Structure 1
């Protein structure tokens, strides 16, 4: 029997990653009176959000649009009450 391999996405969940949605409101230089919206959903670690911070740093350096505000929603994929230890496992044929 080959050894079991843990799914990489499950390992990320155990490491604290969760689904993060960021909504960025921004203004373009040619239409400063209009607020525009950009939404993005990705995996990140709360509360520091390293991937979101890298994205916003990139935006500030490379994009001409000025950020007005950022709204962040996050949901951990595994919460402590969802993990249970199994004492007995059976095989059904």
Structure 2
């Protein structure tokens, strides 16, 4: 069963974006980059490390480096209970 993005955010997941730099298989002196993005749990980042392991196992271009950032999109202080509504005109 697929979990919605909102449910993941409420469970503490945040958006992780990674830029993977890798060497071209035929031209080892050329670096290329690949962007990866998914909802993941900080600080362990299990989905990111699973993807890196997949890359090392299945992709021919060897990784040079990985740069990533993580942002929680919903924090506990951002929720408010709205009890009223104003209607104009």
Taking structure 1 as the reference length, the TM-score comes to: 0.77
Structure 1 residue 27 corresponds to structure 2 residue 49 = no
- Alignment correspondent of 1:51: 47
Distance 2:20 2:59 in 1: 13
Distance 1:82 1:89 in 2: 16
Deviation of the 1:67 alpha carbon: 0.4
Deviation of the 1:19 alpha carbon: 1.0
- Alignment correspondent of 1:89: 83
Taking structure 2 as the reference length, the TM-score comes to: 0.80
CA RMSD of aligned residues (A): 2.2
Q: Secondary structure at the match of 1:31?
A: coil
5+ residue gaps, structure 2, are: none
5+ residue gaps, structure 1, are: 1-6
Distance 2:5 2:25 in 1: 40
Give the number of aligned pairs.
Answer: 85
Distance 2:68 2:78 in 1: 24
- Alignment correspondent of 1:76: 72
Q: Secondary structure at the match of 2:29?
A: strand
- Alignment correspondent of 2:14: 18
Q: Higher strand proportion, which one?
A: 1
Q: Secondary structure at the match of 2:5?
A: helix
